[in-house]
Structure 1
């Protein structure tokens, strides 16, 4: 390990030990066993068991994603509850198994949960993934009166589904509502493409210019997150 990293690690551990009034022997462990002592301190005094369990679970899920699904299926078999079924459906969706995820989401929508907003939003996204646009529209129209629907990704999927089924005017009406400043960058970029396809270059340029302007005020994290969107926005604006 590079020397400066060892010093930084020791410094953090000493600072943490002082701040949290740890027993004096930890200072000897950290100072006289620089690498091993600092690692032992981090594992036993900084990270709690819950943190380590979460990290371990995440690693296992990456290496063996089917294990998470099997474990959640066992939980559901043991206790057939709404939340257990939704958890399983979420895991199936994350793995790309949209068809089975849809089956579980729809099964969850029964009784008092038949109009659950969160599950219906997930169904809209899942049906969009498998390009079943009639179902996207069906579920979107069950929640389109909700205040949280306006400007949401669900509304975006709804608009795209309407366009795919030849309902361009209704599609534009829905898609325009996702054009909200300092948010929905990828969706607004797609809206600009929609306008270009319809020959409405002025509307497209306005949206693209706004995205570029807003990108100047993004945090570093968001600049990284939306780097491709910004890059594509600049390219599309130059071409349009």
Structure 2
């Protein structure tokens, strides 16, 4: 197998293992047995979970993360449609370029922030990631009456933005709905930290205890995925 393909195969397998928080022995197998180890990893951890086309696209993304963005920019140049702009914005977010992604969503909406709540949620996420908290609040207030807003990540980010703006009571009101069993572990951990800062130790402890209990019943993929946040929860629990 050509050297470049071996490196690309290893890079993808390592990327996939990190993304899915798989066991550490996979890293050693992939690194020290490049071809055999990578093939074993693909057969046991990838091909039975994803379609081949998706895997191929992810490999390309690892090797050249800007290729998807450049291809979508060409599509926008060819046909400047709402959907093409949204796809480009999504791709820019995927590589962490939130400012550019925000620009694409803003063009797509063209000032009408009530036209598509899904895009407004994407904007809200980008504004939060770039610390534009006033704009987070503005976006949230355009869609807060939508049925799918309550308990969503968008409402959670709205709550965090309100806290940044010194509106603590409103912040807590919008942070609490994220506390849903067997989901939102990272957000619930942040909520617990928020409650500790407000002196509500017992309520924070209750959330932390629930996460620890739920972690004992997680599937293997979820245990790998949420290992970091569960460890943080245990540390926080031990400190209060």
In structure 1, runs of 5+ residues without a counterpart are 1-38, 40-46
What is the CA–CA distance in structure 2 between the aligned matches of 1:112 and 1:94, rounded to whole Å? 24
What is the CA–CA distance in structure 2 between the aligned matches of 1:230 and 1:54, rounded to whole Å? 29
Shift of 1:111: 8.6
SS across alignment from 1:137:
helix
What is the CA–CA distance in structure 1 between the aligned matches of 2:96 and 2:117, rounded to whole Å? 22
What is the CA–CA distance in structure 2 between the aligned matches of 1:112 and 1:201, rounded to whole Å? 42
Alignment partner, residue 173 of structure 2? 173
Alignment partner, residue 91 of structure 2? 91
What is the CA–CA distance in structure 2 between the aligned matches of 1:224 and 1:75, rounded to whole Å? 37
> 8 Å contact 2:92–2:100 — kept in the other structure?
yes
Mapped pair 1:118 → 2:110 = no
**Root mean square deviation, CA, Å:** 1.9
SS across alignment from 2:80:
coil
Deviations 1:105-148 (A, max 9, x none): 01111498852121111111101110000000000111111111
SS across alignment from 1:172:
helix
TM-score in terms of structure 2 length? 0.75
Shift of 1:193: 0.2
Please identify runs of 4+ aligned residues in structure 1 that moved more than 6 A: none
Alignment partner, residue 161 of structure 1? 161
Alignment partner, residue 72 of structure 2? 72
TM-score in terms of structure 1 length? 0.75
Shift of 1:169: 0.3
Shift of 1:54: 4.4
Mapped pair 1:186 → 2:186 = yes
SS across alignment from 1:150:
coil
SS across alignment from 1:105:
helix
Alignment partner, residue 203 of structure 1? 203
What is the CA–CA distance in structure 1 between the aligned matches of 2:169 and 2:112, rounded to whole Å? 35
Alignment partner, residue 230 of structure 2? 230
Larger radius of gyration: 1
